[in-house]
Amino acid sequence: MTLPATNMRLSRASGDEAPRSELELIDTLLTLDGCRIVELGCGAAKLTRQYATAGTGREVLALEVDELQHAKNLEIDDLPNVRFSLGGAESIPAGDGEFDVAFMFKSLHHVPTELMGRALAELHRVLRPGGHAWISEPVFAGAFNEVLRLFHDEERVRLAAFEAVRGAVEQGLFELVEEVFFNVPSHFADFAEFERTVIGVSHTDHSGMSPELHARVREAFSRHIGPEGAHFAQPIRVDLLRKPLVDRDAGRTPRARAEEA
Protein backbone atom coordinates (compact mmCIF):
# COMPACT_ATOMS: atom_id res chain seq x y z
CA MET A 1 0.00 0.00 0.00
CA THR A 2 1.24 3.47 -0.87
CA LEU A 3 0.05 6.94 0.14
CA PRO A 4 -0.62 10.04 -2.00
CA ALA A 5 1.71 13.03 -1.78
CA THR A 6 -1.17 14.99 -0.24
CA ASN A 7 -0.74 12.86 2.90
CA MET A 8 2.73 14.29 3.50
CA ARG A 9 3.17 16.75 6.35
CA LEU A 10 6.10 19.04 7.08
CA SER A 11 5.59 18.56 10.81
CA ARG A 12 3.14 17.09 13.28
CA ALA A 13 1.31 19.44 15.62
CA SER A 14 1.42 17.20 18.70
CA GLY A 15 5.22 17.07 19.00
CA ASP A 16 4.93 14.57 21.86
CA GLU A 17 6.34 11.50 20.10
CA ALA A 18 8.37 9.19 22.33
CA PRO A 19 12.16 9.43 21.98
CA ARG A 20 13.68 6.56 20.00
CA SER A 21 16.78 5.83 17.99
CA GLU A 22 16.68 6.01 14.21
CA LEU A 23 18.30 2.57 13.99
CA GLU A 24 15.43 1.12 16.04
CA LEU A 25 12.93 2.66 13.62
CA ILE A 26 14.86 1.34 10.60
CA ASP A 27 14.69 -2.17 12.05
CA THR A 28 10.91 -1.96 12.28
CA LEU A 29 10.38 -0.72 8.72
CA LEU A 30 13.16 -2.20 6.58
CA THR A 31 15.05 -5.45 6.12
CA LEU A 32 18.70 -4.73 5.36
CA ASP A 33 20.37 -8.15 5.45
CA GLY A 34 21.73 -9.06 2.03
CA CYS A 35 21.14 -5.54 0.73
CA ARG A 36 23.33 -3.18 -1.26
CA ILE A 37 23.05 0.19 0.46
CA VAL A 38 24.10 3.71 -0.49
CA GLU A 39 24.25 6.47 2.11
CA LEU A 40 24.42 10.12 1.09
CA GLY A 41 26.09 12.45 3.58
CA CYS A 42 27.43 9.88 6.03
CA GLY A 43 29.22 12.47 8.20
CA ALA A 44 31.42 10.80 10.81
CA ALA A 45 29.80 7.44 9.92
CA LYS A 46 28.40 6.83 13.41
CA LEU A 47 25.01 5.66 12.14
CA THR A 48 26.72 3.96 9.20
CA ARG A 49 28.66 1.81 11.65
CA GLN A 50 25.50 0.88 13.55
CA TYR A 51 23.42 -0.35 10.64
CA ALA A 52 26.35 -1.81 8.67
CA THR A 53 27.31 -4.09 11.57
CA ALA A 54 23.80 -4.93 12.83
CA GLY A 55 23.22 -7.82 10.42
CA THR A 56 24.74 -9.91 7.64
CA GLY A 57 25.44 -9.43 3.96
CA ARG A 58 25.16 -5.64 4.03
CA GLU A 59 27.32 -3.86 1.46
CA VAL A 60 27.52 -0.09 1.86
CA LEU A 61 28.74 2.80 -0.27
CA ALA A 62 28.96 5.81 2.06
CA LEU A 63 29.36 9.23 0.43
CA GLU A 64 30.46 12.44 2.13
CA VAL A 65 30.89 15.82 0.44
CA ASP A 66 32.98 17.38 3.24
CA GLU A 67 36.61 16.69 2.31
CA LEU A 68 37.89 17.02 5.89
CA GLN A 69 35.40 14.49 7.21
CA HIS A 70 35.92 12.17 4.25
CA ALA A 71 39.66 12.08 4.95
CA LYS A 72 38.89 10.98 8.50
CA ASN A 73 36.47 8.33 7.24
CA LEU A 74 39.17 6.84 5.02
CA GLU A 75 41.15 6.07 8.18
CA ILE A 76 38.40 3.73 9.42
CA ASP A 77 39.80 0.22 9.07
CA ASP A 78 37.28 -1.99 10.87
CA LEU A 79 34.31 -1.75 8.50
CA PRO A 80 35.24 -4.07 5.62
CA ASN A 81 31.73 -4.00 4.17
CA VAL A 82 31.70 -0.19 3.90
CA ARG A 83 33.34 1.71 1.06
CA PHE A 84 33.80 5.44 1.63
CA SER A 85 33.74 7.82 -1.32
CA LEU A 86 33.87 11.59 -1.76
CA GLY A 87 30.82 12.97 -3.50
CA GLY A 88 27.41 14.63 -3.26
CA ALA A 89 23.91 13.28 -3.65
CA GLU A 90 23.42 15.16 -6.92
CA SER A 91 26.06 13.01 -8.65
CA ILE A 92 26.26 9.49 -7.21
CA PRO A 93 29.24 7.47 -8.48
CA ALA A 94 27.28 4.29 -9.15
CA GLY A 95 25.44 2.54 -11.93
CA ASP A 96 21.71 2.48 -12.64
CA GLY A 97 19.74 0.18 -10.32
CA GLU A 98 22.79 -0.75 -8.27
CA PHE A 99 21.27 -0.46 -4.78
CA ASP A 100 18.40 -1.91 -2.77
CA VAL A 101 18.27 0.86 -0.16
CA ALA A 102 19.35 4.51 -0.07
CA PHE A 103 19.75 6.48 3.15
CA MET A 104 19.83 10.22 3.67
CA PHE A 105 20.07 10.90 7.40
CA LYS A 106 19.34 14.60 7.96
CA SER A 107 21.42 15.47 4.89
CA LEU A 108 18.99 16.48 2.12
CA HIS A 109 18.65 20.01 3.53
CA HIS A 110 22.44 20.39 3.21
CA VAL A 111 22.22 19.87 -0.57
CA PRO A 112 22.08 23.23 -2.41
CA THR A 113 18.41 24.06 -2.94
CA GLU A 114 18.76 24.18 -6.72
CA LEU A 115 20.23 20.64 -6.71
CA MET A 116 17.71 18.90 -4.43
CA GLY A 117 15.54 17.74 -7.33
CA ARG A 118 18.58 16.35 -9.10
CA ALA A 119 19.66 14.55 -5.93
CA LEU A 120 16.30 12.79 -5.68
CA ALA A 121 16.43 11.90 -9.37
CA GLU A 122 19.86 10.39 -8.71
CA LEU A 123 18.44 8.32 -5.85
CA HIS A 124 15.77 7.07 -8.25
CA ARG A 125 18.42 6.22 -10.82
CA VAL A 126 20.70 4.17 -8.57
CA LEU A 127 17.91 2.24 -6.85
CA ARG A 128 16.56 -0.97 -8.33
CA PRO A 129 12.82 -1.06 -9.07
CA GLY A 130 11.10 -1.65 -5.74
CA GLY A 131 14.13 -0.32 -3.83
CA HIS A 132 13.61 1.97 -0.85
CA ALA A 133 14.81 5.49 -0.07
CA TRP A 134 14.89 6.52 3.59
CA ILE A 135 14.99 10.30 3.98
CA SER A 136 15.04 11.68 7.51
CA GLU A 137 14.96 15.41 8.11
CA PRO A 138 14.92 17.52 11.29
CA VAL A 139 11.63 19.24 12.00
CA PHE A 140 11.92 23.00 12.51
CA ALA A 141 10.67 22.95 16.11
CA GLY A 142 11.74 22.15 19.64
CA ALA A 143 14.18 23.44 22.24
CA PHE A 144 17.31 22.33 20.39
CA ASN A 145 16.16 24.14 17.28
CA GLU A 146 15.57 27.32 19.27
CA VAL A 147 19.24 27.31 20.26
CA LEU A 148 20.46 26.35 16.80
CA ARG A 149 18.46 28.96 14.92
CA LEU A 150 20.25 31.78 16.77
CA PHE A 151 23.34 31.19 14.62
CA HIS A 152 22.19 28.72 11.95
CA ASP A 153 18.58 29.20 10.85
CA GLU A 154 17.63 26.27 8.62
CA GLU A 155 13.91 26.95 8.22
CA ARG A 156 14.16 27.80 4.52
CA VAL A 157 16.33 24.84 3.49
CA ARG A 158 14.34 22.36 5.56
CA LEU A 159 11.14 23.52 3.86
CA ALA A 160 12.86 23.25 0.47
CA ALA A 161 13.94 19.68 1.27
CA PHE A 162 10.38 18.72 2.20
CA GLU A 163 8.98 20.27 -0.99
CA ALA A 164 11.61 18.46 -3.06
CA VAL A 165 10.61 15.09 -1.59
CA ARG A 166 6.91 15.80 -2.02
CA GLY A 167 7.59 16.88 -5.59
CA ALA A 168 9.43 13.63 -6.33
CA VAL A 169 6.40 11.68 -5.11
CA GLU A 170 4.00 13.81 -7.15
CA GLN A 171 6.17 13.29 -10.26
CA GLY A 172 6.09 9.51 -9.81
CA LEU A 173 9.81 9.13 -9.14
CA PHE A 174 8.86 7.50 -5.83
CA GLU A 175 5.87 6.08 -4.02
CA LEU A 176 5.26 7.16 -0.44
CA VAL A 177 5.26 4.07 1.76
CA GLU A 178 5.09 5.77 5.13
CA GLU A 179 5.77 9.06 6.88
CA VAL A 180 6.89 8.81 10.50
CA PHE A 181 7.56 11.43 13.16
CA PHE A 182 9.70 10.69 16.20
CA ASN A 183 12.13 12.33 18.62
CA VAL A 184 15.85 11.65 18.74
CA PRO A 185 17.35 12.14 22.21
CA SER A 186 20.62 14.06 22.34
CA HIS A 187 22.88 14.95 25.25
CA PHE A 188 25.69 17.43 25.80
CA ALA A 189 27.81 17.32 28.93
CA ASP A 190 28.29 21.09 28.80
CA PHE A 191 28.42 24.07 26.45
CA ALA A 192 32.00 23.18 25.46
CA GLU A 193 30.78 19.92 23.95
CA PHE A 194 27.96 21.70 22.11
CA GLU A 195 30.45 24.26 20.84
CA ARG A 196 32.82 21.58 19.60
CA THR A 197 30.29 19.23 17.98
CA VAL A 198 27.63 21.66 16.70
CA ILE A 199 29.07 25.16 16.34
CA GLY A 200 32.45 23.80 15.26
CA VAL A 201 31.17 21.19 12.80
CA SER A 202 33.40 21.16 9.73
CA HIS A 203 30.69 21.21 7.03
CA THR A 204 29.46 24.69 8.04
CA ASP A 205 31.68 27.66 8.88
CA HIS A 206 30.56 29.52 12.01
CA SER A 207 33.94 31.11 12.67
CA GLY A 208 32.54 34.57 11.97
CA MET A 209 30.13 34.44 14.90
CA SER A 210 30.36 37.69 16.88
CA PRO A 211 31.14 37.64 20.61
CA GLU A 212 27.68 39.06 21.27
CA LEU A 213 25.97 36.26 19.33
CA HIS A 214 28.21 33.66 20.94
CA ALA A 215 27.11 34.94 24.36
CA ARG A 216 23.43 34.73 23.34
CA VAL A 217 23.87 31.13 22.18
CA ARG A 218 25.65 30.21 25.42
CA GLU A 219 22.88 31.83 27.46
CA ALA A 220 20.13 30.03 25.52
CA PHE A 221 21.94 26.70 25.86
CA SER A 222 22.54 27.23 29.59
CA ARG A 223 18.78 27.28 30.25
CA HIS A 224 18.75 23.54 29.48
CA ILE A 225 21.74 22.57 31.63
CA GLY A 226 21.03 20.35 34.60
CA PRO A 227 23.10 18.24 37.00
CA GLU A 228 23.76 15.72 34.20
CA GLY A 229 24.23 18.15 31.33
CA ALA A 230 21.77 19.31 28.69
CA HIS A 231 19.20 16.89 27.28
CA PHE A 232 17.19 17.59 24.14
CA ALA A 233 14.55 15.70 22.17
CA GLN A 234 15.01 16.62 18.51
CA PRO A 235 11.87 16.08 16.37
CA ILE A 236 12.56 14.18 13.15
CA ARG A 237 10.44 13.31 10.11
CA VAL A 238 11.13 10.21 8.03
CA ASP A 239 9.76 9.82 4.52
CA LEU A 240 10.07 6.17 3.51
CA LEU A 241 9.85 6.03 -0.27
CA ARG A 242 9.90 3.22 -2.81
CA LYS A 243 10.97 3.31 -6.44
CA PRO A 244 8.02 2.05 -8.51
CA LEU A 245 8.29 -1.41 -10.00
CA VAL A 246 7.02 0.08 -13.26
CA ASP A 247 8.36 3.48 -14.30
CA ARG A 248 5.42 5.83 -14.89
CA ASP A 249 7.52 7.79 -17.39
CA ALA A 250 9.16 4.96 -19.30
CA GLY A 251 9.94 7.20 -22.25
CA ARG A 252 12.89 8.80 -20.47
CA THR A 253 15.73 6.95 -18.84
CA PRO A 254 16.56 7.53 -15.16
CA ARG A 255 19.91 9.00 -16.25
CA ALA A 256 18.21 11.52 -18.53
CA ARG A 257 15.76 12.46 -15.78
CA ALA A 258 18.65 13.04 -13.35
CA GLU A 259 20.41 15.27 -15.87
CA GLU A 260 17.26 17.35 -16.40
CA ALA A 261 16.43 17.78 -12.69
pLDDT per position as a tens digit, 172-182: 999 999 999 99
Which residues lie across from 36 on neighbouring strands?
A: 59
Residue 251's pLDDT is 44
Torsion of CA 33, 104, 51, 10, to 10 degrees: -100
- CB of 60 closer than 8 Å to CB of 37: yes
Range 214-223 average pLDDT: 96
pLDDT tens digits, 60-87: 999 999 999 999 999 999 999 999 999 9
The pLDDT score that the predictor gives to residue 254 is 43
**Residue 15 confidence (pLDDT):** 57
Residue 208 reports pLDDT greater than 90: no
* Closest CA relative to residue 68, chosen from 203, 212, 168, 179: 203
- Give percent above pLDDT 90 in the chain: 77
State pTM to two decimals.
0.86
pLDDT for position 202: 56
Between residues 4 and 224, the one the model is more confident about: 224
Q: How far apart (Å, rounded) are the C-alpha atoms in residues 173 and 242?
A: 9
The stretch 197-216 carries a mean pLDDT of: 81
Burial of 90 (0-12, 13-18, 19+ CB in 10 A): buried
* Cα-Cα end-to-end distance for the chain: 27
**Between 1 and 116, whose confidence is greater?**
116
- Residue that wins the pLDDT comparison between 165 and 253: 165
pLDDT at residue 103, as a whole number:
98
Q: Quick one: average pLDDT of 194-220? A: 84
| Domains along the chain with CATH numbers | 5-140+153-184+235-247 (3.40.50.150)
Question: What is the residue-averaged pLDDT of the chain?
Answer: 90
Side chain identity at residue 91, one-letter code: S
